[in-house]
Structure 1
Amino acid sequence: MKQKGVTLIELMIVVAVIGVLSAIVYPSYKGHVQKSHRAQAKTNLTMMQFWAEEKVRAKSLTDTTITSTECPSCNIDTNRYTYSIVSHATFTYVITASIAAGGPQVGDDCGNLILKGNGATDADESNCW
C-alpha cells in the first residue's frame, strides 16, 4: 500500500524557499514603505510652506515645532517625522522634517528633509526630492 502525504524533507524545502524569498522581499518592501512616507513628508513640507508664507506676510513667524494645529491639512505622523521651522535671515525660514528617533523611518537613505523659504531643498540629497 502506497502512502500519500508530505515528507519531512519536502516540508523543510518549502520552508527554506519561503525563508529565502522573505529575506529578499522584505527589505524591498520596507524601502517602498519608507519611500511612500517620505513622499507624504515632502507634501507636508509644501503645505507648511504655504502656512509659513502667511506668517511671513503677517510678520508673525517664529521658531517652532509644527503640529497638526498649525497645519491641519497635513498628515503628520510623529512616529516617522517631526517638523520644525526656524526663521532665517537669508532664506526667510527653513522647514525641516527630521526622522523620529527609534521610528520606522530610521535607516531611510534620504535622512532629514529640508525645504527653504526660497524653494530650495537640501542639496546633498537632491535625488530624494
Structure 2
Amino acid sequence: MSVRKETGFTLIELMIVVTVIAILAAVAYPSYQAQVRKGRMGQAQADLLELSQFMERCFASNNSYQGCALPFSTSPRNGTPYYQIEFNPATTRTEFNLRAVPQTAGGQDKQKCGTLELNQSGVKRFGALGTQADCW
C-alpha cells in the first residue's frame, strides 16, 4: 500500500490570506473614497469657473449681473448631484456670488473644504477646515 501526500491549502493558511486582504481593504477603501470626493470637488470647481465666465458674458451683454440666470444648478450637470450651485446676486448690478454646496450623496458633505464660493472679483472661499492648497 502506498501513502499519498495531500496537496493544497489548509484552513489556517486560507484564513491568514483572508485576514491580510481584509486589512489591506480597510486601509485602501477610505483612501479611495477621499480621492473620489476630491475628484467631485474638482468638477464643482470647474463648474463654478465656467459659470463665472457665463456671468461675465452676461454682464458684457447687459452691463449688469442682475437678470442673469444660470444655465445649470447642479454639479455634475447629469446624474447624481454632488454639489448644489447657488447664485446670489448682490443688491448692486456689479456683484455676484456663486456657491457650490456639497450634498450628502456619495458622502460629499464629508469633504473638508465644505462650501466653495467664487465672486465677481475671482475671490475664492471655502470651508474653515480646508486650506487654499487643498480646496482651490
Secondary structure in structure 1 of the residue aligned to 2:8: coil
Q: Give the CA deviation at 1:98.
A: 0.6
In the other structure, the counterpart of 1:33 is 36
TM value normalised by structure 1: 0.82
Displacement of 1:90 in angstroms is 9.3
Per-residue deviation, 1:86:
0.6
Q: Is the 8 A contact 2:65 2:95 kept in 1?
A: no
Answering whether residue 63 of structure 2 is matched by residue 61 of structure 1, we say no
1:53 Cα deviation from its structure 2 partner: 1.4
Q: Please give the alpha-carbon distance, in whole angstroms, between the structure 2 residues aligned to 1:23 and 1:40.
A: 27
Residue 19 (structure 2) pairs with residue 20 (structure 1): no
Change (3 A) 1:60 1:110: closer
Residue identity over aligned pairs, in percent, reads: 30
Residue 4 (structure 1) aligns with = 7
Match of 1:76 in 2: 77
Q: Which segments of 5 or more consecutive residues in structure 2 lack a partner in the other structure?
A: none
Q: Which has the larger radius of gyration?
A: 2
11 and 62 in structure 1: CA distance in 2 versus 1, 3 angstrom threshold: farther
Distance 1:14 1:25 in 2: 16
1:94-109 → structure 2 map (5 Å cutoff): 94-100=97-103, 102-104=104-106, 105-109=108-112
Counterpart of 1:113 in structure 2 is: 116
Q: TM-score, normalised by structure 2?
A: 0.78
Q: Is the 8 A contact 1:87 1:94 kept in 2?
A: yes
The CA RMSD over aligned residues, in Å, is 2.4
The counterpart of 2:95, out of the listed 75, 92, 95, is 92
Residues in 1 aligned to 2:100 and 2:49: alpha-carbon distance in whole angstroms? 11
